[in-house]
Every structure is written in structure tokens, then in C-alpha cells.
């Protein structure tokens, strides 16, 4: 493991390097509050000679288990993003908005410089390759290809671009200030070596971004058992349908997913005991660690079936019981009436 302090633009602008999001990571999830904080950090960095520290960036050269087809030209290095996807994606959205702004103002040279340095490895080849769910929307924003159908559109990516487009169009903001600020955003860049376990690093992360959910962590520890090709197949067959089915619950989908996992455990693995949501992942982890004979694909198939059944009938008495368990009091993440429609 090799760590160094770097500018975020040094990372994103590294020549001949393409960054890929592994399949065990979640889709883009930053909302307005996190975008606003990043913008403030960038502006603060611009006014500080020492810059501004904004977290960690953990990666491993040579992609293994990354999403989609990267199409990187030969001779270009592919890098798996272990931590930093949300931040790097958000900064990419900021740069896309800035590129479009300076192009609209007639500065084609500056727009092309941003595009070629930070948004593409080569013409038509993206610098940042997101998950299969997010990649079409990002391609629409970066390259102007037709937007995906509404059901397949990543609304958070669209909102992110529109947020930064509004910011860069403010009279008090200019391109030089944005680029200076981004260049002064500092991260601890950690390069994993061959013997380092990226999934274990990913599992332990909880920086400024949205905390990892139970399903994120569970997917991570299971997928760690497989190579790149199998990771992609298992994701497409078992995990992607779960993500799609629970998308209907919006910002509360993590609560519904935890309730579904709790319901599955009660029926299929009663030794998994969790008195509250925060204990659920560790209970699953202990179960997996104590059962070497478990067929992981059979386990995935069973979890997939249980979660899809839960999502199909979230108002059933059984589902309500587990949703009631998932709503931790006194925080009251969700009102009973909103969950159950009473």
C-alpha cells in the first residue's frame, strides 16, 4: 500500500489513465447537500494557499471486476476505484458543466482542454467509467449522446450537472477560480498493491460521503470471492434485479432492503440475529464466516428471490413486521404512515 498527498486534478488528469468502478460498488448517490459541500470546499481551497483536504482516494492499477466495457486504448492503464467514486464522479460533473459554460462563452480552446485532459482518455473514450446503471446518463452529459429512457436515467447525475451549471454561471464565478480551487483540493491517494485486499478496504470506509448500507457491504464481501468475469455475471443475474426492484422506494430503499434481508434471515438462516439495523451486516458476516460449505451462488439466488418477493408486496403483514423492526426508534427514520400507507 503506497500513500501520498495529491491534488484531485492530478489524479483525474493523469495521462493515459482510465478509472473504473468495480461491480461491488453502489451507483452514484450524492445529493444536493454533498454537492454543495464539495462546491464550498472547492471555493475555500481557491482562497487558501495551502489548499483544502477533502478525503481519501483508494485505487488499484489494472482493473479486475470493473463495470462495463472500458474501451481503453492499448497502452493505457486501467485503474479500479476502491474509494473515491462519489467524489470523483461529482468533480467530473463539475468539469462537464464548466466545459459547457466556457464553450457557450466562445472559448473553444479552453473547453477542449478540459475535455481532453479530464473527461476523456482518447476521443470518445471516457476518463471515468461508471456502473452499467449510471454509464448511459454520464455518456449523455459528457459526449452528448441521446439520453436513456426515463426509467433508466440516473436522476442524481442529471441533478448534479444542473447544480454545477447554475454555479458556474453565477457572475462572481469564473473558470480560472474553479480550476484553481479544484487543483488545490487535496486527497490522500492510496495505491493498493497486489497483496492488498480491496474489498476489505472498501468495507471499512466511512468518510464524508454517504455511509455504506448493509446491502453494499454484503455484496462487497460476497463478490470478493470471485474473479472479474464471475463478478459481472453474478451482479447482472442477482444484484441488478434487486437494485431495480427497490428503486421504487427512493431515498428509503436502504430501510426496505434491510427489512427484506431481515425477513430472509428469519426464514432461511435463523442463526443470523440482529436486534437493530446497525447489527445486521455483522450478523450476516459472522454467518458467512462460520459456514464454509455454503454455496455462495445458491445463497445469492435465495437472497435474490427473497428480496424480490418482499419488494413485490411491501404492504403484507410479514413485510410490515420487518419494516417495523427496521425503523429504529427514537430516530424515526420513516413514519409508520408513510411506510404502511395508513
Position with higher pLDDT, 75 vs 166: 166
CA pair distance 176, 178, nearest whole angstrom:
5
Q: What is the pLDDT of residue 331?
A: 41
77-83, strands of its sheet edge to edge = 2-7, 185-191, 52-61, 77-83, 17-20, 128-129
Share of the chain above pLDDT 70, in %: 82
Given a cut of 90, whether residue 126 has pLDDT beyond it is yes
Q: What is the pLDDT of residue 63?
A: 46
Segment 195-208 mean pLDDT:
55
Given a cut of 80, whether residue 196 has pLDDT beyond it is no
Q: Please provide the distance, in angstroms rounded to a whole number, between the alpha carbons at the two ends of the chain.
A: 53
Given a cut of 50, whether residue 68 has pLDDT beyond it is no
CA pair distance 147, 58, nearest whole angstrom:
31
- Model-wide pTM > 0.75: no
Q: What is the pLDDT of residue 207?
A: 39
Q: What is the pLDDT of residue 339?
A: 47
Q: How open is the CA angle 323-328-330, to the nearest 5 degrees?
A: 135
Return all residues near 313 (Cβ < 8 A) that are at least 6 apart: 319
Give the E-state strand segments of the chain in sequence order: 2-7, 17-20, 52-61, 77-83, 120-122, 125-126, 128-129, 185-191
Segment 289-306 mean pLDDT:
80
Segment 278-286 mean pLDDT:
87
Tell me the pLDDT of the chain averaged across its residues: 83
In 3-state terms, what secondary structure has residue 6?
strand
CA pair distance 264, 304, nearest whole angstrom:
10
Given a cut of 90, whether residue 302 has pLDDT beyond it is yes
Check if the beta carbon of residue 6 is closer than 8 Å to that of residue 187. yes
CA pair distance 52, 88, nearest whole angstrom:
16
325-330 long-range contacts, Cβ below 8 Å, gap at least 24?
Answer: 325/259, 325/262, 325/276, 325/277, 326/255, 326/256, 326/258, 326/259, 326/262, 326/277, 327/255, 328/276, 328/277, 328/278
Amino acid at each position: 500500500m503506497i500513500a501520498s498527498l495529491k491534488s484531485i486534478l492530478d489524479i483525474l488528469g493523469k495521462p493515459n489513465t482510465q478509472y473504473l468502478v468495480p461491480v461491488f460498488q453502489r451507483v452514484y448517490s450524492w445529493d444536493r447537500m454533498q454537492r454543495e459541500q464539495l462546491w464550498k470546499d472547492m471555493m475555500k481551497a481557491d482562497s487558501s494557499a495551502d489548499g483544502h483536504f477533502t478525503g481519501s482516494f483508494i485505487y488499484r492499477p489494472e482493473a479486475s471486476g470493473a463495470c462495463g466495457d472500458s474501451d481503453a486504448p492499448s497502452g493505457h492503464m486501467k485503474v479500479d476505484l476502491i474509494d473515491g467514486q462519489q467524489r470523483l464522479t461529482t468533480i467530473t460533473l463539475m468539469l462537464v458543466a464548466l466545459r459547457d459554460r466556457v464553450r457557450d462563452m466562445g472559448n473553444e480552446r479552453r473547453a477542449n482542454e478540459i475535455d481532453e485532459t479530464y473527461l476523456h482518455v482518447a476521443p470518445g473514450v471516457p476518463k471515468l467509467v461508471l456502473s452499467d446503471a449510471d454509464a448511459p446518463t454520464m455518456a449523455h452529459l459528457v459526449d452528448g449522446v441521446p439520453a436513456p429512457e426515463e426509467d433508466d436515467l440516473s436522476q442524481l447525475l442529471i441533478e448534479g450537472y444542473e447544480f454545477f451549471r447554475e454555479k458556474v454561471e453565477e457572475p462572481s464565478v469564473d473558470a480560472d477560480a474553479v480550476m484553481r480551487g479544484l487543483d488545490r483540493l487535496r486527497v490522500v491517494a492510496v495505491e493498493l498493491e497486489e497483496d492488498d485486499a480491496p474489498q476489505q478496504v472498501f468495507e471499512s470506509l466511512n468518510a464524508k460521503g454517504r455511509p455504506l448500507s448493509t446491502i453494499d457491504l454484503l455484496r462487497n464481501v460476497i463478490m470478493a470471492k470471485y474473479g472479474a468475469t464471475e463478478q459481472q455475471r453474478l451482479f447482472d443475474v442477482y444484484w441488478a434485479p434487486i437494485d431495480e426492484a427497490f428503486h421504487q422506494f427512493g431515498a428509503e430503499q436502504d430501510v426496505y432492503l434491510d427489512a427484506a434481508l431481515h425477513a430472509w434471515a428469519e426464514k432461511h438462516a435463523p442463526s443470523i440475529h440482529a436486534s437493530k439495523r446497525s447489527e445486521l451486516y455483522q450478523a450476516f458476516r459472522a454467518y458467512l464466516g462460520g459456514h464454509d460449505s455454503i454455496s455462495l451462488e445458491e445463497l445469492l439466488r435465495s437472497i435474490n428471490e427473497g428480496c424480490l418477493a418482499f419488494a413485490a408486496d411491501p404492504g403484507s403483514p410479514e413485510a410490515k413486521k420487518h419494516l417495523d423492526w427496521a425503523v429504529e426508534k427514537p430516530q424515526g427514520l420513516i413514519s409508520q404512515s408513510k411506510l404502511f400507507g395508513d
